[in-house]
């Protein structure tokens, strides 16, 4: 387990802020009491939670050529057929994974292939499991074409707390299943738009693990 590079700046800022706040508080209220100890405990807890949020686990990829791996840790909140309006403009199977603030927030590529489309959309910051979040929230859309010309869309969606989506690869680049796609800071969601004949192997409200849980098979 390591700390993700997206967390270094935030962790340093939080640490410096807590130190400055505690020093200022002790300067004003110099006599130590129960409130001071409660403040120390709260500060330590908050700092540990921030560090924990940016954890980046080392996992082996449990996939294969026709396997669609889970791109994120979290819970399956949507499984439905829908008309995808941005890229396909036709019916696809949508699988949505909600990531709470306690989940790992690294995102991984579900299949091997090549990126054929990418677009970042600025937008709102509604709660990520809101059905409108897919179309109205800040989001980044990446489309991958496999070696067999099957096309999968993965959409990173910011939530009510998330304020930064990072997506590293760009159009034309080859990608490997289980390779890091990006990172979303704080509560958020990932949508998969899959071919209509995909054989799903997950169920609604199931807890899933990135790079480990099989979403379905092409």
Distance between CA 81 and CA 214 in Å, rounded? 19
> Which residues are catalytic, by number?
188
In the chain, what is the straight-line distance between the N-terminal and C-terminal CA atoms, in Å? Answer: 31
- C-alpha distances (whole Å) from 185 to each of 26, 65, 105 are 32, 30, 7
Distance between CA 134 and CA 155 in Å, rounded? 8
Distance between CA 166 and CA 173 in Å, rounded? 16
Distance between CA 103 and CA 203 in Å, rounded? 19
Closest CA to 92 of 197, 190, 206, 189: 197
What's 124's DSSP letter?
B
Instruction: For CA atoms 217, 191, 161, 107, give the dihedral sign.
Output: positive
What's 190's DSSP letter?
E
């Amino acid at each position: 387990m390591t700390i993700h590079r997206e967390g270094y700046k935030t962790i340093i800022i939080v640490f410096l802020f807590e130190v400055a706040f505690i020093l200022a508080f002790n300067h004003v209220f110099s006599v130590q009491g129960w409130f001071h100890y409660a403040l120390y405990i709260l500060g330590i807890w908050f700092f540990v939670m921030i560090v924990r949020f940016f954890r980046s686990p080392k996992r082996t990829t449990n996939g294969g050529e026709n396997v669609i791996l889970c791109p994120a840790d979290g819970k399956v909140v949507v499984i439905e057929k829908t008309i995808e309006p941005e890229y396909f403009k036709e019916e696809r199977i949508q699988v949505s994974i909600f990531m709470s603030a306690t989940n790992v927030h690294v995102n991984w590529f579900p299949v091997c292939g090549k990126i054929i489309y990418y677009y970042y959309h600025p937008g709102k910051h509604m709660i990520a499991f809101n059905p409108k979040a897919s179309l109205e929230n800040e989001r980044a859309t990446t489309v991958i074409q496999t070696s067999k010309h099957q096309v999968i869309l993965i959409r990173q969606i910011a939530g009510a707390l998330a304020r930064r989506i990072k997506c590293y690869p760009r159009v034309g680049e080859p990608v490997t299943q289980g390779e890091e796609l990006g990172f979303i800071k704080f509560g958020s969601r990932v949508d998969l738009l899959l071919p209509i004949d995909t054989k799903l192997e997950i169920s609604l409200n199931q807890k899933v693990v990135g790079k480990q849980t099989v979403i379905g098979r092409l």
